[in-house]
Chains A and B, each alone.
Chain A
Amino acid sequence: MSQTVFAPWADPDQKPLIRFENVTKKFGEFVAIDDLSLDIYEQEFFALLGPSGCGKTTMMRMLAGFENPTSGRMLLAGQDIAGVPPNKRAVNMMFQSYALFPHLSIWDNIAFGLRRDNKPKDEINARVEEMLKLTRLEKFARRKPHQISGGQRQRVALARSLAKAPKLLLLDEPMGALDKKLRQDTQFELMDIQETTGTTFVIVTHDQEEAMTVASRVAVMDEGRIIQVATPADIYEAPNSIYVADFIGDVNLFNGTTSPEGDDRYAVHWAEGHPPLIATSAQPFSDGQSSHFAIRPEKIAISTERPTETANVLQGKVLDIAYLGNISTYHVALPSGQIIKAQTANTRRISRRAITWEDPVWLSWNATAGVLLDR
């Protein structure tokens, strides 16, 4: 069975559900969002990722209608939504604190939005029951929010914000208050629910793992600007800057100057007395241009004997070994003093460790293993 890949952003005929056009938001002198343009498509699970203070929450609050852009346009399904109050938008939000109404039962919390639309009673009842079933909360309908656990509260908040079947659901750090194990389960649950309902989700998070797990596309933000928008795989394997490469996962960086070698191949001169690193790059670099070569630890092979086939080989000494169970990370000091991280999967159980502290080792990778960055 062939399945079409979900990628509306790659199709020029697709109309975006949300469009930010040169949106700027200032609080007094402080620029929270800086001339930002972005398209988000229907049924996407879109993640806004960045450190605190990068403007991701401001973007969400502008979508919900709690803030208005200082300049620029925001379109929802082609309609300019600037100045439309939150209660008149087909957008619902799940708050970081959940914001459950403490004096109302779970049932009444979920029914709150439906009642505001003056829907007939049996329609409201049916919808609430449906939401309770979707989030597996049937047993708790009559309880008050303080009589259930944190994970259940999170599901109530989700059910309440989904009850009105919004065009767009905003999730502000939805799993911030859950412990790690529960968070992982919830992530998959969230993806299931998103798929079942077909709602467009925009999630704000500072947890890169969470963004990678749930999202169809990730926008990495910094200081009110979007640095890169791409699928999780592209963000990880083809970051467009040191900032993105460093923010998502672990990375080794070599700073140097490039010289073209033809066929998209470049030599990176990174240290006196060392042979240059060979890397491929679709983006052109000129001769002598300063650049940064980024490579993930798991792309580097570590061995006690010098490999012959690979394009890049460096020698070093093992400084530290971090054993994490499934993988081990080796910290290897190069003669230049730089420390390189290399990772191997521990595929065999309690295998005799060939490499130990202070061992001289060879690090190697081929030309396509890393990326060449100009910023």
Chain B
Amino acid sequence: MKRLSWFNVTSLTLGFAFLYLPMVLLVIYSFNASKLVTVWAGFSPRWYGELMQNEAFLDAALVTLKVAVASSTLATILGTMAAYVLVRGGRFMGRTLFSGMIYAPLVMPEVITGLSLLLLFIGIGMDRGVLTIVLAHTTFSMCYVSVVVSSRLMTFDRSLEEAALDLGSSPWTAFRLITLPIIAPAVISGWLLAFTLSLDDLVIASFVSGPSSTTLPIKIFSAVRLGVSPEINALSTLMIGIVTIGVIIASLISKRNSLRAQNDAQAAERATG
């Protein structure tokens, strides 16, 4: 192993401290025995216990999870369809306009997206609740899915689909049996992206949520305005933990896949000499 120079060590330390110090503090204070957030009074897991008793937080967590699953699933279906049409549709009328319009929400300020959706829901007389949040989240996360899936479709060997057609499958069967299984990793990561976007969205959700449908970010944000409680630290630590585990699993899966492909290729080389 090469030793790093003092300059590299310093810049590495500073960089990581900048990124992770706030989170480390949060994790440490979530185990604080004291009710006062800034005063350390010894280690205790009591706030985790209290969190489990807090109905309001649990309800909000449930709403968030429901919204995230529903909206990311909807966004994945719509986004994949949009990507397919844009990559495979050829040069139809207004194609450039369509692709521009699909990617516009990526750069649109969230406040404006939220406000315009609110106006729409009021205009058509739709009661604000879980459904409106799901629709709003689908709207803005769909374009992320579309970006991820279309970049995979662009490198997809079109002759695979043609071969399926040639062997007698209808265009839909070819998509279902050939295209979808091959682009599945991109579709899944699109879904995960939409899921995390929905999990931590505060701005749009606060525009379109109703009294019965408070999501976790809204709950945390309003609770913090009354003062930071150790319970919130505990809750945030749990969220960090969940996200970390998710990221580790995802990277392990992709690493194992590439390793297996490499081994297979080597085995094939050996077998055929």
Q: Which residues of A contact B (CB under 8 A)?
A: 64-66, 85-87, 91-93, 95-97, 99, 101-103, 112-113, 116-117, 144, 146-149, 151-152, 160-161, 164
B173–A86 touching, CB < 8 Å: no
Contact among B166, B168, B182, B265 for A64, CB-based, below 8 A: B166
Shortest C-beta distance, B245 to chain A (Å), equals 28
Contact among B167, B177, B178, B267 for A92, CB-based, below 8 A: B167
Knowing A92-B167, A113-B167, say if A99 contacts B162 (CB, 8 Å).
yes
- Considering the complex of A and B, which 8 residue pairs feature the smallest CB-CB distances, nearest first? A113-B167, A149-B272, A116-B168, A99-B163, A99-B159, A86-B165, A95-B159, A87-B168
Contact among A97, A113, A146, A152 for B168, CB-based, below 8 A: A113
Shortest C-beta distance, B262 to chain A (Å), equals 10
B261–A93 touching, CB < 8 Å: no
Beta-carbon nearest neighbor of B269 in chain A: A149
Per-residue 0/1 for B158-196: is the Cβ within 8 Å of any A Cβ (1 yes, 0 no)? 011011111111100100011001100000000000000
Knowing A95-B163, A152-B272, say if A87 contacts B169 (CB, 8 Å).
yes
A149–B166 touching, CB < 8 Å: no
B165–A85 touching, CB < 8 Å: yes
What residues of A have a CB within 8 angstroms of the CB of B181 in the complex? 103
Q: How far, in angstroms, from A244 to B93 measured CA to CA in the complex?
A: 43
Knowing A93-B166, A116-B169, say if A146 contacts B264 (CB, 8 Å).
yes
Contact among B157, B164, B169, B269 for A97, CB-based, below 8 A: B157
Q: How far, in angstroms, from A101 to B173 measured CA to CA in the complex?
A: 14
Knowing A102-B182, A146-B265, say if A116 contacts B162 (CB, 8 Å).
no
Q: How far, in angstroms, from A58 to B199 measured CA to CA in the complex?
A: 50
Judge if B271 is at the interface, Cβ distance under 8 Å: yes
What residues of A have a CB within 8 angstroms of the CB of B177 in the complex? 112
Q: How far, in angstroms, from A86 to B166 measured CA to CA in the complex?
A: 5
A116–B268 touching, CB < 8 Å: no
- Most chain B C-beta atoms within 10 Å of own C-beta, residue among A85, A96, A116, A151: A116
Shortest C-beta distance, A197 to chain B (Å), equals 17
- Most chain A C-beta atoms within 10 Å of own C-beta, residue among B261, B268, B271: B268
What residues of A have a CB within 8 angstroms of the CB of B159 in the complex? 95-97, 99
Q: Is the interface of B mostly helix, strand, loop or mixed?
A: helix
- Most chain A C-beta atoms within 10 Å of own C-beta, residue among B168, B182, B261: B168
Q: How far, in angstroms, from A66 to B164 measured CA to CA in the complex?
A: 12
B167–A160 touching, CB < 8 Å: yes
B267–A86 touching, CB < 8 Å: no
Q: How far, in angstroms, from A161 to B164 measured CA to CA in the complex?
A: 11
What residues of A have a CB within 8 angstroms of the CB of B164 in the complex? 101, 112
Beta-carbon nearest neighbor of B264 in chain A: A147
Shortest C-beta distance, A298 to chain B (Å), equals 37
Q: How many residues from B make CB contacts under 8 Å with A?
A: 25
Contact among B160, B261, B264 for A101, CB-based, below 8 A: B160
B268–A146 touching, CB < 8 Å: yes
A112–B166 touching, CB < 8 Å: no
A144–B168 touching, CB < 8 Å: no
Beta-carbon nearest neighbor of B163 in chain A: A99
20 A/B residue pairs, CB under 8 Å, sorted by A: A65-B165, A66-B165, A87-B165, A87-B166, A87-B167, A92-B166, A97-B159, A99-B157, A101-B164, A102-B182, A103-B182, A112-B167, A112-B169, A113-B168, A116-B173, A147-B265, A147-B268, A148-B268, A148-B271, A160-B163
B170–A87 touching, CB < 8 Å: yes
Query: Besides the contacts A93-B162, A99-B160, A160-B167, what 10 more A-B pairs have beta carbons closer than 8 Å?
Result: A65-B165, A87-B170, A95-B159, A112-B177, A147-B264, A148-B271, A149-B269, A149-B271, A152-B272, A164-B168
Q: How far, in angstroms, from A224 to B134 measured CA to CA in the complex?
A: 55
Q: How far, in angstroms, from A161 to B182 measured CA to CA in the complex?
A: 21
Knowing A144-B264, A148-B268, A148-B272, say if A116 contacts B167 (CB, 8 Å).
yes
What residues of B have a CB within 8 angstroms of the CB of A148 in the complex? 268, 271-272
Shortest C-beta distance, B64 to chain A (Å), equals 34
Knowing A99-B157, A112-B167, say if A66 contacts B272 (CB, 8 Å).
no
Per-residue 0/1 for B61-81: is the Cβ within 8 Å of any A Cβ (1 yes, 0 no)? 000000000000000000000
A117–B168 touching, CB < 8 Å: yes
Beta-carbon nearest neighbor of B267 in chain A: A147
Beta-carbon nearest neighbor of B168 in chain A: A116
B 204-218 contacts with A by CB, 8 A: none
Q: How far, in angstroms, from A97 to B160 measured CA to CA in the complex?
A: 9
What residues of A have a CB within 8 angstroms of the CB of B182 in the complex? 102-103
What residues of B have a CB within 8 angstroms of the CB of A116 in the complex? 167-169, 173
What residues of B have a CB within 8 angstroms of the CB of A64 in the complex? 162, 166
Q: How far, in angstroms, from A111 to B163 measured CA to CA in the complex?
A: 13
What residues of B have a CB within 8 angstroms of the CB of A160 in the complex? 163, 167
Q: How far, in angstroms, from A87 to B166 measured CA to CA in the complex?
A: 5
Q: How far, in angstroms, from A179 to B83 measured CA to CA in the complex?
A: 38
Q: How far, in angstroms, from A39 to B196 measured CA to CA in the complex?
A: 61
Knowing A103-B181, A116-B169, A116-B173, say if A95 contacts B268 (CB, 8 Å).
no
Shortest C-beta distance, A20 to chain B (Å), equals 20
Q: How far, in angstroms, from A99 to B167 measured CA to CA in the complex?
A: 12
B 247-272 contacts with A by CB, 8 A: 261, 264-265, 267-269, 271-272
What residues of A have a CB within 8 angstroms of the CB of B272 in the complex? 148-149, 151-152
- Most chain B C-beta atoms within 10 Å of own C-beta, residue among A91, A97, A117: A97
Shortest C-beta distance, B66 to chain A (Å), equals 32
B 133-161 contacts with A by CB, 8 A: 157, 159-160
Q: How far, in angstroms, from A139 to B167 measured CA to CA in the complex?
A: 24
Q: How far, in angstroms, from A65 to B267 measured CA to CA in the complex?
A: 38
Q: How far, in angstroms, from A241 to B167 measured CA to CA in the complex?
A: 39
